A and B are shown apart, each in its own frame.
Chain A
Amino acid sequence: EDKVVQSPLSLVVHEGDTVTLNCSYEVTNFRSLLWYKQEKKAPTFLFMLTSSGIEKKSGRLSSILDKKELFSILNITATQTGDSAVYLCAVEIQGAQKLVFGQGTRLTINP
């Protein structure tokens, strides 16, 4: 059974801190790994990762994939209260064109 596991499930930090969110996976046919930010209902796309070791960066957010160890991390530096959200990791299954989601990490940034 395809499985995506995120840790921690919940994280509370102070504004300005740096956080690292983890995502590990066990799937039959890996195509890509995606990160989303969910504030209310709709997840908004952050990154898609397909190759190991290549960091993707967008402002204070960055992410990297390790296909040998089957995990990815999402880093957020100099956190702001607006970063408070649930961060979802999903793996795209090759051939099935479907996403398998992890449970999400609820990140709370306190001022």
Chain B
Amino acid sequence: SAVISQKPSRDICQRGTSLTIQCQVDSQVTMMFWYRQQPGQSLTLIATANQGSEATYESGFVIDKFPISRPNLTFSTLTVSNMSPEDSSIYLCSVDDSGYTFGSGTRLTVV
């Protein structure tokens, strides 16, 4: 299965700032997925990122708040913009490799 390197592992950020999370995959993949897991909750899909096209966002998530880049078939970034304490969550990237492998996750705390 694919190996995904995700960073940062954790961060504590001030409200109103932005954080960019990176995922690097060890093989080329068509689609990458970004999930959010709020405290005590399950995973919710934020958006799906294809290389060379705009990301597709799920209901409740918008590009201005969560801009995504997908410059090539092995890399993607998710930015959490203008953060508030409600954005404190674990953010995970994932790829579909016959089992949906996940990155190691980013634990974000907004103060």
The number of chain B residues touching the other chain, given as a range, is 20 to 34
Q: Which of A69-111 contact B (CB under 8 A)?
A: 88, 90, 92, 97-104
Min CB distance, B76 to chain A, in Å?
A: 15
- Asked if residues B48 and A41 are in contact (CB atoms below 8 Å), the reply is no
- B45 contacts A by Cβ under 8 Å: yes
The number of chain A residues touching the other chain, given as a range, is 20 to 34
From DSSP, what is the main secondary structure of chain B's interface residues? strand
By a CB distance below 8 angstroms, the chain B residues around A43 are 43, 92, 102
- B75 contacts A by Cβ under 8 Å: no
- Asked if residues B48 and A42 are in contact (CB atoms below 8 Å), the reply is no
Give Cα A103–Cα B40 distance, bound, in whole angstroms.
9
Min CB distance, A37 to chain B, in Å?
A: 11
Interface residues of A (CB under 8 A from B): 34, 36, 40-45, 48, 88, 90, 92, 97-104
What are 13 of the A-B contact pairs (CB < 8 Å)?
Answer: A34-B99, A41-B106, A41-B107, A43-B92, A43-B102, A45-B99, A48-B99, A97-B31, A98-B45, A99-B94, A100-B45, A101-B43, A101-B44
Besides A45-B101, A97-B96, 19 other CB < 8 A contacts?
A: A40-B105, A41-B106, A42-B92, A42-B102, A42-B104, A42-B105, A43-B43, A44-B102, A88-B42, A88-B43, A97-B31, A98-B48, A98-B58, A99-B33, A99-B43, A99-B94, A99-B100, A100-B45, A104-B42
